[in-house]
Chains A and B, each alone.
Chain A
Amino acid sequence: MSAHRRRSRVAGRIARHALLVVSAAFALLPFVWMVSLSLKPPDEIFQPDFHLWPKTFHGVENYRVALTAAPMLRFLLNGVFVCAVIFALQLVICVPCAYALAKLRFRGRDTLFSAVLVGLLVPPQALAIPHFVLLYVFGLLDTYAALILPWIISAFGIFLLRQFFRSIPDEIIHAARLDGLGEFEIIWRIMMPMSAPALAAFGIFSVVAHWNDLFWPLIAVRSEDISTPALGILLFRDDEAGQFLGPLMAGATIIVAPLLLAFLFAQRRFIDGLATTAMK
């Protein structure tokens, strides 16, 4: 290789890093800004000159205010609880349906599958009014049930799992039947373990969507006690303590951190899961 060639290759590599550092800075800037402000005392936030690291460290105080003035940890636990129950119920309801659509023959199967495909077209926000009315009629507004019930049926979940179940060979199911396993045993003991990648992808899709959702909790819930993280941070902002930027940014950090940490620990899982569910 000529010296010229080698030099241009090195230059290319440097240019690549230079450009990616700029776009990475764009992606990271709000996080850096958020954490920086969450460590500063009020007067430093309003000073004309800006320093990334606080001159007087006020982080402990800010995070203490965020955690005591609003039930931040409660928001997180609510988020975990709501997301976990939604996903568990989605599985209980979608998996048998997906299995039947993929592997069993019965009259009406194709019609039902077409209905699932039509269901995929309906954006959840379009159902907000009737869901609200339904929960109102049953007296369930402002409860955990209000946050969970509208989501327990997922046309997307049925579709995704049905596609995956179809890729599992029929021979395995025949063999299991010969071994005397009932259909529901086949579902839970054979199909579920074999479809771990699809279940993980759907799980990540479901949890990320409901952890971050603001639209529905804003409609369904008023009390702080059952707020999910996305709603909780807004309740905190409208609160007296949230008027101070230090504690507000500390609160935002607490709200955003769990999912980001989960992502950093299992990057491949998250990226693959979200990419495959996007491509359906």
Chain B
Amino acid sequence: MSVMALVHRRARPVARRRQHQAAEATVGWLAVSPALILLICLLFGPAAAVILFSFTDWQLGATTFHFVGIENFAALWADPPFWKALVNTCIYVAIVVPGTVGLGLATALLIEASPGLRGFYRAVHFLPVMSTMSAMAVVWGTMLHPSIGLVNRTLATFGLTGINWLRDEHTALLAVALIGIWQGFGFAMVLFVSGLKAVPQQLYDAAAVDGADGLFDRLRIVTLPMLGPVTMFVIVLTASRAFEVFDSVRVLTQGGPNYASEVLLNRLYSESFDYLRTGYGAALTVVYLAIVIALTLAQARFIERRVHYS
């Protein structure tokens, strides 16, 4: 039938082909118009609005506003909690990324090393990825509770005195980062497993011929170099997700104590919707948007590279 179609089309007079093209264009526009309208109303319009808001002193509910130039950005620059949030978010990413990627890689290698209980382990490690973070953050809150929490109870059996993890300035961010690793490493594991499956068996055979048949030799010579592109991808993906940390902070610490666990999205939420400082919140949003876009573009580049490798 496809051959018939080709013959048919070739035999068609020019006028009819033009008519057909016009009809195709009409259908095309008809098909994209709902999406186009919504893209403008719900995505590009609002994105432009945020940038506009960031140059005004508007507050939610107020009927008037003034353009204030870069005043909001200047205030942001001079605002210690903003810097605290930015630095903390970076620290959070710097803890969560190596933790998640390292644990994900280790569990992926172990799970794929032999077939015993493979499906069981994969499912168990993936459960945190599927769980609702706000509910599990509530659970983690009780586990980190100073007196009845599992963590301090365990420390007590070793004769150690635990601390109030979420209320201590030195540990609040660390505790939240631990929860981030807990939730994310199963996902990293799954991505590494798919990377491992793509490593051709011939490479192991060739390495064996060259005398590299021990577990660690195989790992060093074949597996890890072949996982390079996947690893880059997992790192960038984990970093951009970690950058969006919100739920655990909102539920457990609200950014406290004394901004010790404040992160960008929580700052953005508080300024925009707790204090209703829309203009200021919008300026914060613009900064956040710029950072996320930069990270996403980096991610897209790594994906391209990944395709070249495979």
Query: Judging by beta carbons under 8 Å apart, are B190 and A19 in contact?
Result: no
Query: Judging by beta carbons under 8 Å apart, are A260 and B190 in contact?
Result: no
Interface size class on chain B is 35 or more
Q: How far is the CA of A12 from the CA of B43 in the complex (A)?
A: 53
Tell me, rounded to whole Å, the shortest Cβ–Cβ distance linking A278 to chain B.
6
Interface stretch (choices A56-64, A193-201, A210-218): A210-218
CB-CB under 8 A from B43, the residues of chain A are 119, 122, 127, 153, 155
Task: Name which residue of chain A comes closest to B27, CB basis.
Answer: A183
Q: How far is the CA of A259 from the CA of B69 in the complex (A)?
A: 47
Q: How far is the CA of A96 from the CA of B103 in the complex (A)?
A: 41
CB-CB under 8 A from A27, the residues of chain B are 124-125, 127-128, 182, 185-186
Having A153-B39, A219-B269, one finds 8 other A-B pairs with CB under 8 Å, namely A93-B35, A93-B38, A105-B21, A126-B47, A132-B60, A230-B132, A233-B132, A259-B130
Q: How far is the CA of A186 from the CA of B136 in the complex (A)?
A: 44
CB-CB under 8 A from A106, the residues of chain B are 24-25, 28-29
Tell me, rounded to whole Å, the shortest Cβ–Cβ distance linking A191 to chain B.
11
CB-CB under 8 A from B8, the residues of chain A are 178
How many A residues face the partner with a CB closer than 8 A?
A: 99
- Is B204 in contact with chain A by the CB < 8 A criterion? no
Query: Judging by beta carbons under 8 Å apart, are B31 and A183 in contact?
Result: yes
Query: Judging by beta carbons under 8 Å apart, are A260 and B285 in contact?
Result: no
- Is B233 in contact with chain A by the CB < 8 A criterion? yes
Q: How far is the CA of A122 from the CA of B138 in the complex (A)?
A: 29
Query: Judging by beta carbons under 8 Å apart, are A275 and B194 in contact?
Result: yes
Query: Judging by beta carbons under 8 Å apart, are B187 and A105 in contact?
Result: no
CB-CB under 8 A from A280, the residues of chain B are 303
Q: Which residues of B line the A interface, CB within 8 A?
A: 1-2, 4-5, 8, 21, 24-25, 27-32, 34-36, 38-39, 42-47, 49-50, 53, 60, 103, 106-107, 110-111, 113-114, 116-117, 119, 121-136, 138-140, 142-143, 147-148, 150, 153, 182, 185-187, 190-191, 194, 215, 233, 237, 244, 246-247, 250-251, 265, 268-269, 272-273, 278, 281-282, 285, 288-289, 292-293, 296-297, 303
Q: How far is the CA of A215 from the CA of B60 in the complex (A)?
A: 18
Within 8 Å by CB of A218, from B49, B269, B278, lies B269
Q: How far is the CA of A259 from the CA of B135 in the complex (A)?
A: 12
23 intermolecular pairs with C-beta atoms under 8 Å apart: A28-B127, A33-B139, A33-B143, A100-B31, A119-B43, A121-B293, A122-B289, A126-B47, A127-B50, A128-B272, A129-B285, A132-B273, A133-B278, A134-B46, A152-B42, A171-B1, A175-B5, A178-B5, A183-B31, A215-B269, A245-B142, A259-B130, A263-B123
Most chain A CB within 10 A, of B21, B132, B265, B278, is at B132
Query: Judging by beta carbons under 8 Å apart, are A126 and B143 in contact?
Result: no
Q: How far is the CA of A92 from the CA of B65 in the complex (A)?
A: 38
